[in-house]
Amino acid sequence: SNSANIATESKQPIVLTVSTQDSMKEWVMDSGCSYHSTPDREVLFDFKEIDGGRVLMANNTYRDIKGIGKIKIQNPDGSEVILRDVRYMPEVSRNLISYGMLERSGCRYEVNFKV
């Protein structure tokens, strides 16, 4: 089934995660990750290749940061927002949005769970 969570600031949606059949297009909000990250180089713009070090994953393995860029996310109302400082990590299995990065950038968010 399809579902969505929206993070909001001043009642304007700023981040949308959507569950679809294609998990590589899905962006998951994660309270445990330090950075927004993606294994998909094609979704990044203003991309800069970097040697960004390594990140310790939840399964005690390390993954390399190979670049950094921005992504556009489209909200249900058709508006677009940009997430900055998204790490390109080709070995991770999911696109992740970091709650911590949202908070540090001054965003407020609201999560609504619906079954």
* Residue whose pair of structure tokens reads 């009642």 in the numeric block: 11
d(CA 115, CA 98): 23
The yes-or-no answer on residue 22 being catalytic is: no
Q: Cβ atoms within 10 A of the Cβ of 103, count?
A: 13
CB 36 within 8 A of CB 101: yes
Q: Which of 22, 30, 51, 85 is catalytic?
A: 30
Return the structure tokens found at 87: 């790490």
Task: Kindly give the pairing relationship between strand 67-74 and strand 80-88.
Answer: antiparallel
Which amino acids are annotated catalytic?
A: 30
